[in-house]
Homo-oligomer: A and B are copies of this chain.
Amino acid sequence: MTASAAYARRSKTVLPDTASLPSLALIAGSGRLPQLLAQAARAQGRRISVFVFDPLLAEAFSGFDTHVLNFAQVGVLMDLMKKLAIGELVMAGKIHRPDFSKLRPDATGMLMLPAILAAAARGDDALISAVVKIFESRGIKIIPPEMIMQELVPVSAQWTVRAPSAVDLIDIEKGFQVARALGALDIGQGVVVADGLVLAAEAAEGTDAMLMRVAQLPDAIRGAQSRRRGVLVKCAKPTQERRVDLPAIGPDTVAHADKAGLSGIAVEAGGSLIIDRDAVIAAADRFGLFVISTGGA
């Protein structure tokens, strides 16, 4: 029995008692995760308000209490959160750094800008930590997405019909070693390894773009759909804020891994998010890829 069958049997868990929970804010970036979280929170009976920085993202949350924010209007945001009695905050989805030189901060934002700029210059981890501290100093608790959807973070498991080969397992081990090193330097959370060679290392471009360029590498060093080689490995940065920005895969990741000719995907058990897991498993089984979660808690 694959883990997916076991998962299906276990997935009817008891819902948490949410009546006593404070109002929840969702700061939503792009991708499918924020919508899944908003729906799950509402299904659990929670009061939820959604905040987006990109007006185009607001459409995905029709029916929710949705607010379009300007990065630098920190005072406005804090006043609004106070008015809405926000007690907990979850951040999810891809949010790109703003161009700090173009921000027009309000008075509160102006006070915070020097600390934010100094943090940004040290990298994404420092920037995220600085943002988290701003909310915490106002009494807003940051919760991770899996506090709302526990099944997002996988246990150790083989989710697909296909299993990694002996060669894949060696590539996976190297992939974790390299991804942890990239993470320690706050470069990125993903890497593609094939037959011992690091084909691609992820930085600001994101996983999908990285997989697309693997498909453009010379035939000799990569796999193809007809002869799969190589693995995508994603794991958390050793020092990252684990409540925000855990590495994630979803159905699109599987589709890009397929086009890149990979054998499969390995993510960190306990340290990554599998978004829309049923769809991920179905897509991987259809393409003949493996998906495993391993090496974590």
Contact = CB atoms under 8 A, between A and B. Distances in A.
A178 B170 contact: no
> How many copies of this protein are present in the complex?
2
A296 interface: no
A281 to B, nearest CB: 28
Contacts of A198: 123, 185-188, 203-204
6 contacts: A102-B220, A121-B195, A123-B196, A124-B197, A178-B185, A191-B203
A65 B46 CA distance: 78
A181 interface: yes
Interface residues of A, number: 41
Contact of A181 (B170, B181, B218): B181
Contacts of A267: none
A151 to B, nearest CB: 31
A52 interface: no
Contacts of A185: 177-178, 181, 198
A99 B204 contact: no
A246 interface: no
A257 interface: no
Nearest to A119: B196
B96 A196 contact: no
A133 interface: no
A177 B181 CA distance: 12
A218 B123 CA distance: 16
Interface string A173-212: 0000110011001111001100111111111110001000
B220 A201 contact: no
A204 B186 contact: no
A104 interface: no
Contact of A99 (B97, B202, B220): B220
Contacts of A124: 197
A159 to B, nearest CB: 26
Nearest to A118: B196
A96 B218 contact: yes
A187 B193 CA distance: 10
A178 B187 CA distance: 8
A229 to B, nearest CB: 9
